[in-house]
Amino acid sequence: MSELERLRQLLLGDELRSVAHIEAELQQLQERLEYPERLIEHIAPHFSKMLVDASTQEHAAFEHAVVCALNTLVEHGSKASYEPVIKKISPLIYRELHNYTITHKEDVSDLLYPVVGGMISKYVSQMLQDMMNDINAKIQHGLSIQNIKRKIQAKVQGIDEAELLLYESLPVHVKAVLLIHKPMGAIIAHRVDKGNHINEPEMVGSMLTALTDFINNWIHQQEQFRDVNEINYGESKIYLESSGHSYLAVLLDGQTTQDVVTATNEVLTAILDHYATDIQEFDGDLSSIPTHDIETLFTPLFALNQHKPAKDQPPSKWPLAIIAFLLLTLGAWSYYTHYKKEHFQAMIATRIQNNPHLALYAISTSWQDNTLVIEGKVPNAKLNDELFNTLMTKKFPYDIDNRVLVLKPLEDYAKSKRLIAKQIAVLNSDPYTNLTYDVTNGTVTITGEATSPQRLQQAADIITELDAIKHLYINVAYTKSRQHSLYFKNGASAIDKEHAPLLERIAAHLEQYPQTHLGVIGYSSPSKNLLQNRRIAKKRAQNVTDALIALGVSPQRITTRWMAQPPLFHENNNSASQCVKFYWYNTVQESE
Amino acid sequence: MKKYIKKILLIGNHGVGKTSLATRYVENKFSDAYLSTIGVNIMKKNLILNDQGNVAAVALMLWDVEGANKNQNVPLHYAKGCNAFIVVIDATRPQTAENLQQHLEYIHNFDVAIPFIIAINKSDLGSTVTLDEAAFQQKYSNCVGIVYTSAKEDKNVEELFTRITKRTIW
């Protein structure tokens, strides 16, 4: 040691030792800072004591500090910083919650009820509301076929209709559909709804087949053969529709409603319509089966999952169909009634016109509701009785109101002469009759030619009843009966050359006697059906009318009618029945 | 690659080891309770088979049917649609081999042309049963072969199922 060194020891000995000591301690401190675990080891006992002291003595400040620290961690800390904390804490929290839940079940229930209970309550309320809407809608559509069907079903099954409604209203959720090859138990095609999954569908298919085989075989031995069609498990079920070589298995939640049964049946039918042979010949080679196409056919079953409350559904087409049907029926009935009345009126008019005594008088028919009113005037009661007898040869489906007036016998000579003139004019309305008359000193002389002695005699009877007439002389040559009808070939309605002479004669006659009107009535044979007969008769009458109009006859002077039947007395004569007949009407009105 | 699903029935007397063989081979199975409940247990094995360049993916469905006895055969409805049979006999019980004829008649009555294979199981315990494979194949054209197996030691199990499955495809 040098002198200088010794001097330093003497002067600074204590300070130097202090510095050395401080340096050693500083080095120790640096080492601890470099190795935090050593620092923690050193501080930990004090730190825990410090925390305990702080939490007990400075409770509020401590709590504030911890909350701030946690907030900072959650808000600003990175995932990497707080995830380890969460991982550490989670098991502790879970364990504590678990223990607490077990030991304080009722407390936990009370605590969770406001949240969970509310959720459940809301869900159940919504479900019930949907169901009620559905039921209400079904009740409101009370006239639907489905409703009537349900009522019958309720009666037959002896259960309440409301129960059936409730059953129908329960939502159905089709989870999966499997098409299973029945003998092999192999899955040919399967489709699962979103969010659902089937583990090993092949196993499910085989097991279902084994189960159904077992049950069917057992039942077959015990009672009678019947396929299993439903397997229940928990809240779910498997609905099975079997046909030939395949099962269609529908895995669903809810009730097997009629919609499910119908859709399953339709889907299986569609599959078999297209792929029955493929399925029958299936030997395990999946490429021989168009799996994807078959799975597409499952769609109607999954469409059941999109069940909406009835209020959103379009109204059933059945009521519309029923209304349309009723309207059609009503229309057809109205048409039939109208046709029947028209036919009846034409028949009565024909009867009057065919009666030689009555044909001379303007007797008209018209409808008042369902009563046929007959109006006109006849010169004596005898003719009125004849009219009545003509009409009442049999019982008619309609009432007839005979309003025909009987004129008082004419005493006035001038009036009598006018009546005689009208009678002769009426007789001359026949195109083959040509009569002239003379009235002198109460003596009437009729000369000329006529075709019908009966009609002339009828006129003579009327004339002789006149008080002013003392004698009647008839000097008439009767010609052979002339043609008053046009005949057609079977089914034909066209006018041909053979018809021309008569049509021209009728047109000339009408021109000669402007007060004469013509009735044209078309007939047909009874051989075809009613509608066809009516069509032919109408066409014949219209063609003849058109031909007469073409010859210059005014349409106002022609009344055209047609009847889907042969003319009177020709009911069984096919060739004679296919004709158009002419009737002449005299429009001369008798004055008082 | 073509896909197939094949159904193979395991038949044989009670206790010959049908279930053990199938269980050793497969990856998925239902509870054994089914076997005693409805008489059948179904297992599945997915296979990729290769035969002279032809490759096929097969879902093999094994129907382990409750063991038959001398007077009662397997219910015929379980055999419907099956593609092949595996007849299992016990190497240590000669009487199970005596019933072999009964099993073969059952198969013959079901379908004269359907392939079958005979498994002499428990061969690890020493076999007291010997069968002439060539003679069998000569007599039954649909006999795929005879395989000595041990479910316990996993001996020839895969070969048994592979051989019969291949026969159903190629």
Please give the mean pLDDT across all residues of chain A.
78
Span A441-451, average pLDDT:
85
Checking DSSP bridges between strand A434-440 and strand A399-406, what pairing results, if any? unpaired
The letter for the amino acid at A213 is D
Residue with tokens 């509870």: B31
pTM value is 0.42
Neighbours of B168 (CB within 10 A): 21
pLDDT by residue (tens digit) across B10-53? Answer: 998 888 888 889 988 886 555 555 565 567 888 889 999 998 88
Residue A314 has pLDDT above 60, yes or no: no
Banded model confidence at residue B61, pLDDT cuts 50, 70, 90 = very high
Radius of gyration of chain A (CA): 56
Using the Cβ of B47 and the Cβ atoms of chain A, whether some distance falls under 8 Å is answered with: no
Give Cα separations from A208 to A176, A193, A250, A417 (angstroms): 14, 20, 12, 108
Q: Which residues, other chains included, contact B130 with Cβ-Cβ below 8 Å and sequence gap of 6+?
A: none
- Residue of chain A nearest B29, judged by CA positions: A203
One-letter-per-residue 3-state SS of A256-308? CCHHHHHHHHHHHHHHHHHHHHHHHCCCCEHHHCCHHHHHHCCHHHHHHHHCC
Alpha-carbon distance A279 to B161, whole Å? 26
Q: Where are the alpha helices (DSSP H) in B47-156?
A: 76-79, 94-98, 100-110, 133-139
Out of A6-10, B20-24, B90-94, least confident range: A6-10
Residue A549 has pLDDT above 90, yes or no: yes
Least CB-CB distance to B7: which of A186, A214, A216?
A: A186
Alpha-carbon distance B24 to A59, whole Å? 67
Structure tokens at A164: 């059936």
Alpha-carbon distance A175 to A201, whole Å? 13
pLDDT by residue (tens digit) across B135-162? Answer: 888 888 899 999 999 988 889 999 999 9
In a mutational test of the B interface, the residue from A211, A285, A291, A292 whose CB has the highest number of chain B CBs within 10 Å is A285
Residue B116 has pLDDT above 60, yes or no: yes
pLDDT by residue (tens digit) across A500-543? Answer: 988 998 898 888 878 778 888 888 887 767 778 888 889 999 99
How many structural domains compose chain B?
1
Evaluate whether B146 touches B88 at the Cβ level (below 8 Å): no
User: What is the reported pLDDT for A553?
Assistant: 93
Least CB-CB distance to B78: which of A187, A210, A286?
A: A210
Handedness of CA B132, B136, B139, B145 (dihedral sign): negative
Alpha-carbon distance B40 to B34, whole Å? 6
- Residue of chain A nearest B39, judged by CA positions: A214
Kindly list the residues from chain B whose CB atom is less than 8 angstroms away from the CB atom of residue A207.
Answer: 30, 34, 42
Q: Which residues, other chains included, contact A397 with Cβ-Cβ below 8 Å and sequence gap of 6+?
A: A340, A344
Please give the mean pLDDT across all residues of chain B.
85
* 3-class DSSP state of B170: coil
Out of A13-22, A310-319, A397-406, A407-416, least confident range: A310-319
Vertex A530, ends A339 and A528: CA angle to 5°? 165
Using the Cβ of B28 and the Cβ atoms of chain A, whether some distance falls under 8 Å is answered with: yes
User: Quick one: how far is CA A382 from the chain centroid?
Assistant: 61
- C-alpha closest to that of A465 among A386, A383, A405, A387: A383
Alpha-carbon distance A504 to A499, whole Å? 9
Question: Could you confirm whether domain A334-406 is CATH 3.10.20?
Answer: no
- Domain region containing B157: 2-169
The domain spans of chain A are: 170-315, 334-406, 413-478, 485-586
Least CB-CB distance to B61: which of A182, A185, A217?
A: A185
CATH number of A485-586: 3.30.1330.60
Out of A161-175, A187-201, A328-342, least confident range: A161-175
- Provide the percentage of residues in chain A whose pLDDT is more than 70: 80
Span A137-153, average pLDDT:
66
Which one is the CATH code of A413-478: 3.30.70, 3.40.50, 3.30.420, 1.10.3470?
3.30.70
Alpha-carbon distance A71 to A68, whole Å? 5
Alpha-carbon distance B3 to B56, whole Å? 6
User: What is the reported pLDDT for A411?
Assistant: 60
- C-alpha closest to that of A455 among A436, A478, A437, A471: A478
Alpha-carbon distance A114 to A336, whole Å? 72
Residue A311 has pLDDT above 60, yes or no: no
Of A70-79, A106-115, A286-295, A574-583, where does the model show the most confidence?
A: A286-295
Structure tokens at A230: 């439903």
User: What is the reported pLDDT for A113?
Assistant: 65
Strand partners, A582: A520
* 3-class DSSP state of B4: strand
The more confidently predicted of residues A204 and A429 is: A204
Of A219-223, A318-322, B6-10, where does the model show the most confidence?
A: B6-10
The more confidently predicted of residues A328 and A162 is: A328
Give Cα separations from A518 to A348, A360, A481 (angstroms): 17, 13, 19
Evaluate whether B144 touches B128 at the Cβ level (below 8 Å): no
Banded model confidence at residue A319, pLDDT cuts 50, 70, 90 = low
Evaluate whether B126 touches B152 at the Cβ level (below 8 Å): no
User: What is the reported pLDDT for A590?
Assistant: 40
Alpha-carbon distance B123 to B155, whole Å? 9
Banded model confidence at residue B89, pLDDT cuts 50, 70, 90 = very high
pLDDT by residue (tens digit) across A348-368? Answer: 877 777 776 677 677 888 888
Shortest Cα–Cα distance, A260 to chain B (Å): 29
- Provide the percentage of residues in chain A whose pLDDT is more than 90: 5
Least CB-CB distance to A183: which of B6, B38, B80?
A: B80
Using the Cβ of B168 and the Cβ atoms of chain A, whether some distance falls under 8 Å is answered with: yes
Least CB-CB distance to B42: which of A182, A207, A287?
A: A207
Span A256-268, average pLDDT:
83
Number of A to B CB contacts under 8 A, please give it. Answer: 72
Alpha-carbon distance B118 to B163, whole Å? 11
The letter for the amino acid at A20 is A
Kindly list the residues from chain B whose CB atom is less than 8 angstroms away from the CB atom of residue A213.
Answer: 77-78, 80
- C-alpha closest to that of A409 among A462, A473, A356, A472: A462
User: What is the reported pLDDT for A224?
Assistant: 47
Span A425-446, average pLDDT:
82
ipTM score above 0.85: no
Evaluate whether A247 touches A179 at the Cβ level (below 8 Å): yes
User: What is the reported pLDDT for A138?
Assistant: 63
Burial class (CB in 10 A: 0-12, 13-18, 19+), A427: buried
Residue A443 has pLDDT above 60, yes or no: yes
Query: Residue B41 maps to which CATH number?
Result: 3.40.50.300
CATH number of A170-315: 3.30.450.70
Shortest Cα–Cα distance, B142 to chain A (Å): 17
Length of chain A: 592
**CB contact (8 A) between residue A213 and residue B78:** yes
pLDDT by residue (tens digit) across A32-91? Answer: 777 777 777 777 777 777 777 877 777 788 888 888 887 887 777 666 777 777 787 888
Residue B9 has pLDDT above 90, yes or no: yes
Residue A237 has pLDDT above 90, yes or no: no
Residue A15 has pLDDT above 70, yes or no: yes
DSSP 8-state symbol, A131 = H
Kindly list the residues from chain B whose CB atom is less than 8 angstroms away from the CB atom of residue A184.
Answer: 5, 7, 61, 80-83
Least CB-CB distance to B6: which of A211, A284, A287?
A: A284
Out of A153-167, A347-361, A434-448, A474-488, least confident range: A153-167
